[in-house]
């Protein structure tokens, strides 16, 4: 065991095809856990500072080094002797200089994420440090072994500091200027993974001295790059001879001739068992669909450690791009991705014995654990992974629950794989060639306590012989602890709820499935739908919705969305025009599909849904997402097929007993059902008071609930449900609309503080969900100013804002400065921006592509924009042409602010043309850009071109 229960790391592994290990849910396509990088405002000063630091590192040598790489150079001995004194002086200068600033360059341009990072990232300056001394002792071949052994992990580790690493290698004349540019150009294009691979490839090609300098650079960078620091610490722990442990990776072992036939039969059996995937639906006629596993499986992201459980819970409650950005941020910095075929490779754990490997894969319900196991077994049976394992035996804990007597490992295997007959004795002789998989520890009826010291003192509690009769729990315990068949490997999957049982176990590898990251969602839907046009339409729709996008990190939620949205994009009829516009409408169709397929199973679905909704509302109020039998009894609910359409059953154990608990497939489904109950009750009571009290909670627990309540007041959201549940209470609908109206009127002028801005935005969301045009025009129809300066807006917030402005013809001033808006959000706003007289977008990460989008608004014949502020938005020379072209035909713009961007002399001719051609332009500010003194004078002289024109440079 390598140490205490881990807290970080990442593994890129198998996929899931639906609700993972839940029998009553579809196993559709696997998730990956990741996210879009957090929107970072890189103002011109920060970006300039970063570039200046790189130049500082290279300035002395880069020019003379352009085509003279140090490795392979043929300098004469005479020249070397003549220059030795000068070189020693330069080297001392280099070492001091590089160690001083390497912490900053390793961090790259993302300095704003941590203003104190340059202090925190003090480099390892001690030449006598343990790791430095170790590296000096390694022979060249050993260093080659070390680099090859860690190469995959190094590619991940140096992604965040690859430009800094390249600068150090260039400074030491390992890279020439051309090679350095190739590496940094990939970074500038956002291809950090490709850049790190290129760097390592170049170093490996250059030979032993290049590798040695690279590792020395890594030591200097270690505290700035957490993943790199982790690798170096592992090397330190392994000591002066790590190569013994590296060689523990086993190659394909030769199986005895007399066992080849049974191995082939075993592989054939596993292929048949794992080649297809059963996918549950919510349909009556076709409750299960069968697919080929390889056709439906999507890769998941898995991390090489298990995070703190409070972090996991916080993620469950998190939503939208923030959720995605949190994942991506941690993936970039400290969490390491691991593929399923790397689970039993020793370069992902510190292994100092040959006793076998025990690995744990954790994940929340529906994330894809069971489907991942199926894919592992499938790939092994087809010879794609784990060639060093001669036999793989896979068990589900839920099946082991049916074993009600003492049993030995031999019979446990023969019950599942009877064809092994009398050859098991031969198989036991090579335990290193065996892998045992146990899926779903959280579902096991017996408790396995690895902290129980009696197991070490009472032999009857430990199974050391595969022929010995004992409890199933003793067999599992003994395999994991290497007491039984020492040398074999074990893989256990579990939900987080049962991980505490394994804290004292001999676990070599801790991993967690994070779910879908980035494009992995697209891969899921591409495999979910046979028609790729439908898949693309669904993906585009999901990406525009904050809540839906968040849900898609989990395959089971993708399954929900696929079932709900698919029909709208599949039918080429008028129905396609009725695609849900709001999240409320989408969830209405999700519940509608359940009622359509299961409504006949119960006499009064309205009454049952009301009770479920009342329980759900209590849960939202108390921040409770798990319900027990006592809760069902309290609300007069009984377990049934109809109820299972809304609630998932989970097995929970405590120290003394086990019980079934219930949870909604997703928190947002719980919130929707809670909102729905408000419209099903015959006596609405004081619904206005209830909503006001919910709105007053500052922790956001009712935020989505309130949006759903507002949305259900809309006939578009209500009518699908009313077909099965009867009409909604008219009195409730009226009171909800009155409440939304009151909130809009109260919040419209209260945006000076962040709380006021958040409340106003939430109220806009109520308005958007209600799709009540009359209400919108009555409440915000006369608004002249909308300002969210300094408040983070997500893309779906921009959709809502555009909807509100579109319904109001009076908004003249729109202040969205420093709102973390990027191209995706700006794209949602473009259709309405031309209506505003004063538009402030400064300090958003728009970049050139964002400004090009904005040009469309400036070209609009009805454009009313008079003042446009685009300070500190990352504007460069490449987009000035588009801006000038748009303004050449614009008749409204009088004031243009482009301060603190990265414009250079290259754009001066186009800017001059812009100033001349845009005849209504009277003020243009270009301060704090990258102009030379001559160009500044030239631009300023253009003031004489038109009376009253002011050019500030």
pLDDT in tens, 264-293: 999 999 999 999 887 655 544 455 577 787
130-136 average pLDDT score:
81
Least confident residue range of 28-32, 64-68, 97-101: 28-32
Cα 429 from chain centre = 44
User: Regarding predicted confidence, which is higher, 741 or 236?
Assistant: 741
- The whole-number pLDDT of residue 285 equals 46
- The whole-number pLDDT of residue 362 equals 85
- Per-residue pLDDT for 922 more than 90? yes
pTM, rounded to two decimals? 0.55
Residue 412 phi/psi, 5° resolution? -60, -40
User: Regarding predicted confidence, which is higher, 290 or 51?
Assistant: 290
- Return the SS3 of 10: strand
User: Regarding predicted confidence, which is higher, 50 or 189?
Assistant: 189
- Per-residue pLDDT for 320 more than 80? no
Cα 885 from chain centre = 39
Length in residues, the chain: 953
Average pLDDT, the chain: 77
- Contact predicate 388/251, CB 8 Å: yes
Reported confidence tier of residue 79, pLDDT bands at 50, 70, 90:
very low
User: Regarding predicted confidence, which is higher, 283 or 440?
Assistant: 440
- The whole-number pLDDT of residue 380 equals 94
- Per-residue pLDDT for 457 more than 60? no
CA–CA gap between residue 302 and residue 148 (Å, rounded): 23
Least confident residue range of 128-142, 485-499, 938-952: 128-142
CA–CA gap between residue 784 and residue 812 (Å, rounded): 5
Beta bridge partners of residue 358, listed in sequence order = 490
CA–CA gap between residue 286 and residue 284 (Å, rounded): 6
- The whole-number pLDDT of residue 32 equals 31
Of 188-192, 359-363, 723-727, where does the model show the most confidence? 723-727
Reported confidence tier of residue 158, pLDDT bands at 50, 70, 90:
confident
Least confident residue range of 126-135, 531-540, 633-642, 852-861: 126-135
- The whole-number pLDDT of residue 52 equals 41
- Per-residue pLDDT for 622 more than 80? yes
- Contact predicate 394/437, CB 8 Å: yes
- The whole-number pLDDT of residue 257 equals 86
- Neighbouring CB atoms inside 10 A of 603's CB total 7
370-378 average pLDDT score:
92
Reported confidence tier of residue 64, pLDDT bands at 50, 70, 90:
very low
- Per-residue pLDDT for 91 more than 90? no
Q: What is the pLDDT of residues 8-40, one digit of tens each?
A: 333 333 343 333 333 333 333 333 322 223 332
Q: What is the pLDDT of residues 750-767, one digit of tens each?
A: 667 888 888 888 889 899
- Per-residue pLDDT for 351 more than 80? no
User: Regarding predicted confidence, which is higher, 908 or 5?
Assistant: 908
- Contact predicate 198/183, CB 8 Å: yes
- Per-residue pLDDT for 449 more than 60? yes
Helix and strand tally (H, E) in the chain?
Answer: 42, 17
Reported confidence tier of residue 567, pLDDT bands at 50, 70, 90:
confident
Least confident residue range of 4-8, 425-429, 573-577: 4-8
CA–CA gap between residue 460 and residue 452 (Å, rounded): 13
- The whole-number pLDDT of residue 106 equals 38
Residue 671 phi/psi, 5° resolution? -65, -35
CA–CA gap between residue 43 and residue 902 (Å, rounded): 9
CA–CA gap between residue 157 and residue 222 (Å, rounded): 10
Tokens at residue 546, please? 């904050």
CA–CA gap between residue 44 and residue 862 (Å, rounded): 33
Reported confidence tier of residue 721, pLDDT bands at 50, 70, 90:
very high
- Contact predicate 285/596, CB 8 Å: no
Closest C-alpha to 495, from 316, 293, 330, 326:
316
- The whole-number pLDDT of residue 34 equals 28
Strands 301-303 and 509-515, bridge-based pairing: antiparallel
- Per-residue pLDDT for 175 more than 70? yes
Strands 434-439 and 489-494, bridge-based pairing: parallel
Q: Which residue is associated with the tokens 């009376």?
A: 947
CATH code at 300-515: 3.40.50
- Return the SS3 of 43: coil
- Per-residue pLDDT for 529 more than 90? no
By CB neighbour count within 10 A (0-12 exposed, 13-18 middle, 19+ buried), where does 454 fall? exposed
Q: DSSP for 737-762?
A: HHHHHHHHHHHTT--SSHHHHHHHHH
- Return the SS3 of 337: strand
- Per-residue pLDDT for 352 more than 50? no
CA–CA gap between residue 884 and residue 924 (Å, rounded): 13
Residue 653 phi/psi, 5° resolution? -120, 145
- The whole-number pLDDT of residue 677 equals 95
Least confident residue range of 33-37, 82-86, 215-219, 932-936: 33-37
Residue 13 phi/psi, 5° resolution? -135, -155
CA–CA gap between residue 845 and residue 676 (Å, rounded): 39
CA–CA gap between residue 942 and residue 794 (Å, rounded): 40
Least confident residue range of 15-29, 529-543, 621-635, 869-883: 15-29
Residue 814 phi/psi, 5° resolution? -125, 110
- Return the SS3 of 261: helix
**CB contact set of 620 (below 8 Å; sequence gap of 6+):** 670, 671, 674, 701, 702, 705
- Per-residue pLDDT for 694 more than 50? yes
- The whole-number pLDDT of residue 927 equals 95
Closest C-alpha to 480, from 426, 522, 441:
441
The Cα-based distances of 236 to 131, 229, 240 in angstroms read: 6, 11, 8
- The whole-number pLDDT of residue 231 equals 82
- The whole-number pLDDT of residue 908 equals 93
CATH code at 772-951: 3.80.10.10
- The whole-number pLDDT of residue 518 equals 72
**CB contact set of 136 (below 8 Å; sequence gap of 6+):** none
800-819 average pLDDT score:
88
Q: Where is 925: in which H helix or E strand? A: strand 923-925
- The whole-number pLDDT of residue 240 equals 61
Q: What is the pLDDT of residues 861-915, one digit of tens each?
A: 999 999 999 999 989 898 899 899 998 888 999 999 999 999 999 999 999 999 9
Least confident residue range of 32-41, 132-141, 387-396, 799-808: 32-41
CA–CA gap between residue 253 and residue 386 (Å, rounded): 10
**CB contact set of 668 (below 8 Å; sequence gap of 6+):** 319, 547, 551, 583, 587, 704
Beta bridge partners of residue 509, listed in sequence order = 359
Q: DSSP for 408-429?
A: -HHHHHHHH-GGGTT-HHHHHT
CA–CA gap between residue 180 and residue 185 (Å, rounded): 8
Least confident residue range of 443-457, 796-810, 934-948: 443-457
Reported confidence tier of residue 233, pLDDT bands at 50, 70, 90:
confident
Q: Which residue is associated with the tokens 């589900």?
A: 396
- Per-residue pLDDT for 419 more than 90? yes
- Per-residue pLDDT for 630 more than 70? yes
The Cα-based distances of 892 to 75, 112, 218, 886, 951 in angstroms read: 66, 36, 55, 12, 18
- Per-residue pLDDT for 104 more than 60? no
CA–CA gap between residue 129 and residue 232 (Å, rounded): 12
476-490 average pLDDT score:
92
Biggest CA–CA distance in the chain, Å, is: 102
User: Regarding predicted confidence, which is higher, 586 or 648?
Assistant: 586
Cα 449 from chain centre = 33
Helices 715-725, 583-598: inter-axial angle, 10-degree rounding: 10
């Amino acid at each position: 065991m390598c140490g205490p229960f881990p807290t970080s790391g990442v593994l890129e592994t198998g996929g899931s095809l639906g609700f993972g290990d839940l029998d009553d849910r579809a196993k559709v396509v696997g998730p990956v856990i990741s996210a879009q990088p957090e929107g970072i405002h890189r103002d011109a000063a920060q970006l300039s500072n970063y570039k200046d630091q790189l130049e500082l590192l290279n300035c002395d040598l880069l020019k003379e080094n352009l085509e003279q790489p140090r490795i392979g150079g043929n300098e004469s001995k005479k020249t070397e002797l003549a220059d030795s004194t000068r070189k020693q002086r330069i080297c001392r200068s280099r070492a001091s200089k590089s160690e001083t600033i390497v912490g900053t360059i390793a961090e790259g341009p993302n300095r704003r994420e941590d203003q104190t990072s340059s202090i925190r990232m003090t480099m390892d300056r001690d030449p006598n440090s343990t790791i430095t001394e170790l590296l000096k002792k390694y022979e060249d071949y050993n260093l080659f072994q070390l680099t090859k052994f860690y190469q995959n992990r190094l590619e991940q580790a140096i992604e965040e500091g690859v430009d800094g690493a390249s600068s150090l290698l260039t400074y030491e004349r390992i890279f020439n200027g051309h090679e350095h540019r190739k590496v940094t150009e990939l970074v500038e294009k956002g291809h950090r993974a490709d850049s790190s691979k290129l760097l390592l490839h170049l170093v490996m090609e250059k030979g032993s001295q290049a590798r040695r300098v690279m590792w020395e650079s890594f030591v200097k960078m270690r505290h700035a790059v957490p993943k790199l620091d982790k690798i170096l610490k592992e090397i330190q722990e392994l000591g002066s001879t790590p190569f013994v442990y590296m060689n523990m990776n086993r190659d394909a072992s030769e199986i005895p001739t007399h066992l080849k036939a049974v191995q082939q039969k075993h592989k054939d059996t596993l292929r048949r068992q794992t080649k297809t995937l059963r996918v549950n639906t919510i349909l009556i006629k076709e409750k299960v669909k069968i697919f080929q596993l390889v056709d439906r499986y999507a890769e998941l992201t898995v991390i090489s450690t298990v995070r703190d459980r409070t972090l996991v819970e916080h993620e469950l409650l998190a939503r939208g791009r923030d959720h995605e950005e949190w994942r991506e941020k941690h993936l970039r910095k400290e969490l390491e991705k691991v593929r399923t075929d790397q689970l039993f490779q020793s370069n992902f754990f510190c292994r100092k014995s040959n006793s076998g490997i025990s690995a744990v894969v954790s994940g929340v319900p529906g994330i894809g654990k069971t489907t991942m196991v199926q894919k592992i077994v499938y790939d092994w049976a087809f010879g794609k992974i784990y060639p060093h394992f001669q036999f793989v035996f896979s068990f589900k804990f839920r099946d082991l629950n049916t074993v009600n007597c003492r049993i030995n490992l031999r019979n446990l295997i023969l019950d599942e794989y009877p064809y092994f007959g009398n050859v098991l004795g031969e198989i036991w002789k090579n335990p290193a060639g065996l892998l045992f998989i146990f899926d779903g520890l959280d579902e096991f009826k017996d408790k396995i306590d690895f902290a129980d010291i009696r197991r070490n003192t009472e032999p009857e509690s430990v199974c050391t012989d595969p022929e010995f009769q004992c409890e199933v729990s003793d067999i599992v315990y003994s395999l994991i602890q290497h007491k039984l068949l020492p040398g074999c490997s074990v893989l256990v999957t579990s939900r987080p709820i049962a991980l505490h049982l394994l804290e004292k176990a001999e676990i070599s590898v801790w991993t967690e499935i994070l779910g879908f990251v980035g494009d992995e969602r697209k891969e899921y839907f591409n495999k979910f739908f046979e028609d790729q046009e439908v898949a693309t339409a669904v993906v585009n729709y999901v990406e525009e919705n904050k809540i839906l996008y968040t849900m898609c990190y989990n395959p089971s939620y993708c399954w929900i969305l696929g079932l709900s949205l698919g029909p709208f994009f599949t039918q080429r009829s008028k129905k396609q025009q009725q695609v849900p516009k709001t999240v409320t409408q989408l969830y209405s169709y999700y519940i509608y599909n359940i009622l359509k397929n299961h409504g006949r199973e119960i006499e009064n679905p309205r009454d049952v849904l009301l009770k479920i909704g009342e329980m759900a509302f209590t849960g939202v109020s108390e921040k409770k997402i798990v319900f027990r039998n006592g809760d069902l009894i309290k609300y007069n609910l009984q377990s049934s097929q109809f109820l299972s359409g809304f609630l998932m059953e989970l097995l929970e154990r405590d120290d003394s007993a086990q019980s079934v608990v219930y949870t909604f497939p997703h928190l947002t489904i719980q919130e929707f059902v809670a909102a729905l109950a408000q419209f099903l009750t015959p006596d609405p009571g004081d619904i206005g008071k209830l909503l006001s009290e919910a709105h007053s909670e500052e922790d956001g627990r009712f935020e989505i609930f309130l949006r759903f309540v507002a949305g259900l007041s809309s006939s578009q959201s209500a009518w699908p449900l009313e077909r099965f549940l009867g009409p909604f209470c008219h009195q409730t609908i009226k009171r909800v609309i009155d409440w939304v109206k009151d909130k809009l009127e109260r919040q419209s002028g209260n945006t000076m503080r962040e709380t006021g801005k958040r409340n106003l935005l939430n109220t806009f969301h109520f308005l958007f969900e209600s799709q009540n045009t009359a209400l919108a025009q009555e409440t915000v129809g006369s608004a002249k100013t909308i300002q969210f300066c300094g408040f983070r807006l997500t893309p779906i917030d921009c959709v809502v804002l555009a909807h509100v402005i579109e319904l109001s013809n009076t908004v003249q001033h729109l202040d969205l400065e420093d709102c973390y808006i990027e191209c995706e959000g700006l794209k949602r706003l473009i259709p309405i921006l031309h209506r505003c007289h004063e538009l402030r977008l400064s300090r958003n990460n728009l970049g050139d592509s964002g400004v090009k989008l904005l040009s469309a608004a400036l070209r609009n014949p009805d454009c009313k924009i008079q003042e446009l502020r685009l300070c500190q938005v990352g504007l460069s020379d490449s987009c000035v042409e588009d801006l000038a072209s748009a303004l050449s035909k614009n008749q409204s713009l009088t004031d243009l602010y482009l301060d603190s961007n990265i414009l250079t002399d290259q754009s001066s001719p186009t800017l001059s043309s812009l100033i001349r051609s845009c005849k209504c332009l009277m003020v243009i500010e270009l301060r704090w850009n990258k102009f030379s003194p001559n160009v500044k004078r030239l631009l300023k002289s253009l003031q004489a071109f038109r009376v009253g024109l002011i050019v500030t440079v």
